[in-house]
């Protein structure tokens, strides 16, 4: 019996009765820095310790013999070390290797701003896009408050770093959008066609973008549509410009959804209240309808479809610049179809597949008629008047497919490769003094490959290449794209990007001759970024070299060239002023180019040397109201009168100047009365917004009369824009989702 | 002697088993006792690591991972450096997933932790994450209540979230107080299944209730 007691004693004896081994040591990372908070344990035993703030640890154990010591710490690869325990003291010097992970790894940020909710370290999120005061629920409006973009009010598009509006392209779910903006109207910038609420992620690249994309000399706006909605809902909207209704249904298993939306906007009531400078004989009317479905094809796969049909028209009269008694009546009818199907799926452990396709057709019927004071058509058979009666019937179709395969290379390194095929068909009928009819077909093919290599969390490189061929100009190009990023400490990092970018000449140029080559830009970008949860600081410098730009004189050719260089600053701070979130962006731009009808290298008329924006957001909880403000400023832009010198067969500048500086203070207020109600049956958002609150004078450029004796300022059709809207969502709390859903 | 050996051979496995489970229980009780003091010392991660070691060694017990996850998420919630919260909450998430795997699915207590994990993510940037994580957090509280209507902890968490929600958003002290009172009365009747089953929360509930008055 005594034996039994002894045995029990042995089994239940306290540790102190027995000899113990002491295990101690210090843990460092691969750069010799101590690692605090690491867990040290002997496998299959309770014994172990946690390293202290200087990376040291010490514990005693009653274990005996050959044991495995396991060291783990968040962000490092686990380390195993075999040790022999026999009442001894062991002192270890251990080194952990950082495991590359997305949260800690350096990110290549040179040239790109990312707005997304999924990644935790982004400069903006999707709600920032829709609550920017000056944006009026236009994605590109919000982008224009970021560095690198111009405040151009007379023409749509993103004018990036000395590039024209045509040099920036928009991609939705990986594929190119041929007509992202509403069709051009002379001297009035048009909005984007797509609501910001369609998108969950936005990457704005002001240069040096990925090899997966091409055909944009300056930059790319890469948009990703939302996945499944949170639940089924119906929406109604009523505003000073129109009405909208929509329905989304999510199935019970939350694995698929479908939805339809329709909106009708008619500016007749608004124009009756707010006087416009131009005389609209056909008030702008916009029909928009969309249909979508989204299906979770597996735990990791997602199939998305989105299609929209749009029809709109307008007609406006403005005084003719060459005569005191005549007017120009410009009219436009537009039909647009766009459909996009995309599929993302993980294949096995290492592969990801992305496949996407889209079809779009944009049909413009436009025309201009010279009219007298009684609004009757006038035909005058000599210049400049003979060219003022014109008609265009222009159809642009694009069908495309794109496939990208991604293979994980261990850690977070990956290689992506794939190809795309785009079939463009442009059918251009144009009658002025003569009739022209051109059909352009382009079978455009591209192959690309890109590798993200993370050497450690602190150093990353992206190597890409892209090969393109256009059948229309029958030319091939191949480019390198390289970016590097290096981490400096906890929050700071530097990154650099270099790349060559090609773009086809414009449609109207190819209509005249196919004997043209790609235009070319080379980007060099260096960026420093310091990012914390509440503050972001970015400083970026760039140099861009333009070659082979298209010139129109003496005949169409690729002898144009240019450069752009500058420094940009971005500062966002959510901390300093309690409850206030603001950002400041500033861009300095020095650019000159010789293209189109420029007689020599000049600062283009869409480039201002200094541009700055301040964007403020504050939510006042007590009033359930969000206040948004933005102020944009840009120094004056140059304008020129180019006149053809017949004796020397070239263009000369007969007059030039600089516009006044651009100022715009915009405010918007979102009132959410339903916030905080327990399970509200409906969710309401009121939106009120004003652009150019201070009614500051804005002059975008000047147009010259045919004889050069007279110039006329290009100004917005109205100084200010007012908007009041009420949006109600039934069955789902979509406070963010409806804020600011203007137009 | 033969008898003795026979006795031993019969008793020994039982004793060993007893000893083993006793060792487990002892260690658990000891470490659970340390959690309270961690609110002063702030060494939650050390205790979390200890629980994780016990879990790794035991392999069939879900409670060690549950407590490890609890300590990780508390360290995120009470920590002043919110830039670390996401990482800590992710770690807590991985641990509670382990606990649920061993327990054969989620239960009221693991959903309580999941709600806290979502809250920890939310606290990093409440303004922009409220929409996303607030719903997740509330969803887990509801699930925890469903799985065990007698569990006071989800009610306490609900009170806490209302306590920190501005009045205009349907929160505030007046809304939170009755929830804390309800949780308190539930604590009085709630019997943990074993001495190492989750039983925390009463002191915090009392503290919050005193703040409401």
pLDDT in tens, A72-124: 998 888 999 999 988 889 999 999 988 877 767 777 787 788 776 555 556 67
Interface contact flag, B127 A581, Cβ < 8 Å: yes
Interface contact flag, B125 A581, Cβ < 8 Å: no
Q: What is the pLDDT of residue A133?
A: 83
The predicted-structure confidence for A187-204, as pLDDT tens digits, reads as follows 999 999 998 888 888 889
Which uninterrupted H or E stretch holds A708?
Answer: none
For the residues A390-394, what does the mean pLDDT come to? 96
pTM for the full predicted model = 0.85
Given CB atoms, is B53 within the 8 Å cutoff of chain A? yes
Interface contact flag, B49 A678, Cβ < 8 Å: no
Which residues of A fall within a CB distance of 8 Å from B12? 7
Q: Which of A479-488, A502-511, A621-630, B61-70 has the lowest mean pLDDT?
A: A621-630
pLDDT for A677 beyond 80: no
* Mean pLDDT estimate for chain A: 90
Closest CA to A315 of A327, A299, A323: A327
A236 in Cβ contact with A245 (< 8 Å): yes
Q: Which of B43, B53, B83 to mutate to test the interface with A (most CBs of A within 10 A)?
A: B53
Q: What is the pLDDT of residue B123?
A: 87
Q: What is the pLDDT of residue A482?
A: 95
Q: What are the residues whose beta carbons fall under 8 Å from the beta carbon of A667, sequence distance 6 or more?
A: A133, A627, A628, A629, A689, A690, A693
A559 in Cβ contact with A551 (< 8 Å): yes
Quickly state the pLDDT bin for A690 (edges 50, 70, 90). Answer: very high
Q: Which of A103, A534, A678 sits opposite B170 (nearest CB)?
A: A678
Which residues of B fall within a CB distance of 8 Å from A532? 83
**B 118-157 → A contacts, CB under 8 A:** 124-125, 127-128, 131-132, 135
Which residues of B fall within a CB distance of 8 Å from A128? 128
Interface contact flag, A7 B16, Cβ < 8 Å: no
Distances from the Cα of A701 to the Cα of A151, A159, A665, A698, angstroms: 12, 15, 20, 9
For the residues A441-470, what does the mean pLDDT come to? 94
Which uninterrupted H or E stretch holds A550?
Answer: strand A535-551
Given CB atoms, is A489 within the 8 Å cutoff of chain B? no
At residue B9's C-alpha, the angle toward residues B8 and B12, to 5°, is 70
The predicted-structure confidence for A489-533, as pLDDT tens digits, reads as follows 878 999 999 999 999 999 999 999 999 999 999 999 999 999 887
Burial class (CB in 10 A: 0-12, 13-18, 19+), A234: middle
Q: What is the pLDDT of residue A741?
A: 36
pLDDT for A743 beyond 60: no
Interface contact flag, A7 B56, Cβ < 8 Å: no
Other CB atoms within a 10 A radius of the CB of residue A677 amount to: 13
Residue in chain A lying closest to B172 (CA):
A676
Spans of chain B below 70 pLDDT: 1-20, 127-128
Q: Which of B4, B27, B45 sits opposite A46 (nearest CB)?
A: B27
Between β-strands A89-96 and A21-29, what pairing exists: parallel, antiparallel or unpaired?
parallel
A78 in Cβ contact with A95 (< 8 Å): no
Which residues of B fall within a CB distance of 8 Å from A11? 15-16, 19
* Mean pLDDT estimate for chain B: 88
Which residues of B fall within a CB distance of 8 Å from A44? 56-57
Integer Cα distance of A434 and A386 in angstroms: 10
Interface contact flag, A11 B56, Cβ < 8 Å: no
For the residues A151-159, what does the mean pLDDT come to? 94
For the residues A284-289, what does the mean pLDDT come to? 97
Which uninterrupted H or E stretch holds B78?
Answer: helix B63-78
Instruction: Give the tokens for residue A693.
Output: 């609150």
In eight-state DSSP terms, residue B212 is: H
Residue in chain B lying closest to A39 (CA):
B49
Q: What is the pLDDT of residue A732?
A: 55
Q: What is the pLDDT of residue B169?
A: 74
Q: What is the pLDDT of residue B72?
A: 95
For the residues A572-578, what does the mean pLDDT come to? 89
Q: What is the pLDDT of residue A372?
A: 94
β partners of residue A261: A246, A290
Other CB atoms within a 10 A radius of the CB of residue B119 amount to: 26
């Amino acid at each position: 019996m005594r034996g039994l007691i002894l045995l029990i004693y042995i089994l239940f004896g306290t540790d102190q009765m027995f000899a113990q081994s002491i295990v101690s040591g210090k843990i460092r990372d691969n750069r010799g820095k101590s690692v605090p908070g690491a867990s040290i344990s002997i496998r299959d035993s309770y014994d172990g310790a946690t390293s202290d703030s200087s990376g040291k640890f010490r514990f005693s154990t009653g274990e005996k013999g050959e044991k495995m010591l396991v060291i783990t710490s968040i962000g490092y690869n686990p380390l195993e070390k075999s040790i022999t325990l026999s009442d001894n003291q062991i002192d270890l010097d251990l080194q952990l290797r950082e495991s590359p992970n997305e949260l800690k790894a350096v990110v290549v940020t040179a040239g790109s701003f990312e707005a997304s909710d999924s990644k935790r370290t982004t400069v903006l999120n999707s709600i920032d896009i829709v609550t920017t005061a000056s944006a009026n629920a236009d994605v590109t409006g919000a982008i224009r408050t970021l560095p690198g973009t111009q405040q151009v009010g007379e023409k749509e598009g993103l004018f990036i770093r000395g590039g024209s509006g045509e040099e920036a392209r928009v991609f939705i779910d990986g594929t190119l959008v041929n007509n992202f903006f509403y069709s051009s109207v002379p001297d009035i910038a048009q909005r984007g066609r797509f609501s910001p609420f369609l998108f969950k992620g936005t990457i704005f690249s002001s240069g040096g973008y990925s090899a997966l994309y091409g055909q944009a000399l300056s930059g790319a706006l890469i948009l990703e549509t939302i996945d499944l909605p949170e639940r089924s809902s119906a929406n109604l909207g009523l505003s000073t410009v129109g009405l909208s209704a929509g329905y989304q249904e999510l199935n019970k298993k939350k694995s698929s959804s479908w939805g339809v939306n329709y909106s009708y906007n008619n500016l007749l009531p608004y124009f009756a209240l707010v006087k416009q400078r131009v005389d609209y004989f056909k008030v702008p009317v916009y029909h928009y309808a969309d249909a979508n479905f989204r299906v979770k094809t597996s735990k990791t796969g997602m199939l998305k479809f989105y299609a929209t049909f749009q029809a709109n028209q307008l007609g406006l009269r403005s005084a003719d610049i060459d005569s005191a008694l005549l007017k120009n009546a410009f009219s436009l009818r537009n039909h647009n179809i766009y459909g996009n199907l995309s599929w993302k799926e993980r294949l096995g452990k290492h592969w990801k597949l992305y496949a996407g396709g889209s079809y779009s057709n944009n049909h413009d019927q436009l025309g201009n008629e010279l009219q007298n004071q009684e609004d009757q058509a006038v035909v005058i058979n000599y210049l400049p008047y003979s060219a003022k009666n014109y008609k265009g019937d222009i159809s642009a179709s694009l069908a495309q497919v794109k496939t990208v395969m991604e293979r994980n290379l261990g850690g977070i390194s990956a290689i992506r490769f794939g190809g795309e095929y785009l079939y463009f068909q442009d059918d251009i009928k144009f009658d002025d003094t003569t009739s022209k009819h051109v059909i352009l077909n382009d079978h455009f093919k591209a192959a690309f490959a890109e590798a993200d290599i993370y050497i450690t969390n602190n150093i990353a490189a992206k190597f890409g290449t892209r090969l393109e061929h256009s059948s229309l100009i029958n030319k091939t190009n191949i480019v390198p794209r390289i970016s590097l990023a290096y981490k400096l400490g906890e929050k700071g990092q530097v990154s650099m990007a270099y790349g060559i970018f090609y773009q086809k000449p414009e449609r109207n140029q190819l209509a005249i001759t196919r004997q043209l080559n790609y235009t070319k830009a080379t980007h060099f970008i260096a960026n420093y970024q310091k990012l914390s949860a509440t503050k972001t600081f970015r400083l970026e410098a760039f140099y861009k070299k333009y070659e082979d730009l298209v010139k129109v004189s003496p005949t169409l050719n690729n002898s144009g060239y240019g450069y752009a260089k500058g420094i940009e600053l971005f500062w966002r701070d959510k901390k300093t002023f309690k409850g206030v979130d603001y950002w400041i962006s500033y861009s300095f731009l020095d650019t000159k180019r010789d293209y189109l009808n420029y007689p020599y290298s000049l600062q283009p008329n869409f480039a201002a040397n200094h541009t700055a924006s301040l964007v403020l957001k504050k939510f006042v909880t007590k009033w359930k109201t969000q206040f948004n403000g933005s102020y944009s400023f840009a120094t004056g832009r140059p304008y020129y009168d180019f006149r053809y010198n017949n004796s020397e067969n070239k263009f000369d500048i007969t007059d030039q100047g600089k516009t006044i500086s651009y100022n715009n203070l915009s405010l918007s207020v979102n009132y959410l009365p339903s916030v905080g109600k327990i399970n509200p049956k409906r969710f309401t958002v009121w939106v009120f917004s004003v652009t150019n609150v201070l009614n500051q004078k804005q002059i975008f450029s000047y147009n010259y009369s045919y004889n050069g004796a007279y110039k006329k300022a290009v100004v917005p059709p109205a100084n200010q824009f007012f908007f009041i809207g009420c949006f109600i969502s039934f069955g789902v709390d979509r406070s963010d989702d409806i804020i600011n859903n203007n137009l | 002697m033969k008898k003795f050996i026979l006795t031993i051979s019969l008793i020994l496995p039982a004793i060993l088993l007893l000893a083993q489970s006793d060792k487990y229980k002892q260690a658990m009780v000891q470490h659970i006792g340390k959690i309270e003091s961690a609110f002063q010392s702030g060494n939650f991660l050390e205790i979390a690591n200890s629980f994780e070691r016990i879990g790794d060694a035991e392999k069939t017990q879900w409670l060690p991972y549950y407590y490890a996850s609890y300590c990780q998420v508390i360290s995120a919630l009470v920590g002043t450096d919110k830039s670390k919260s996401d990482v800590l909450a992710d770690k807590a998430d991985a641990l509670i997933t382990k606990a649920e795997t061993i327990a054969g699915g989620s239960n009221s207590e693991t959903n309580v932790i999941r709600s806290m994990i979502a809250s920890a993510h939310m606290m990093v940037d409440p303004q922009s994450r409220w929409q996303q994580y607030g719903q997740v957090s509330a969803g887990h509280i509801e699930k925890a209540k469903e799985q065990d209507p007698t569990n006071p902890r989800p009610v306490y968490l609900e009170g806490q979230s209302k306590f920190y929600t501005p009045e205009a958003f349907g929160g505030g002290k007046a809304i939170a107080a009755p929830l804390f009172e309800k949780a308190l009365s539930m604590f009085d009747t709630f019997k943990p299944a074993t001495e190492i089953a989750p039983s925390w929360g009463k002191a915090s509930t009392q503290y919050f209730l005193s703040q409401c008055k």
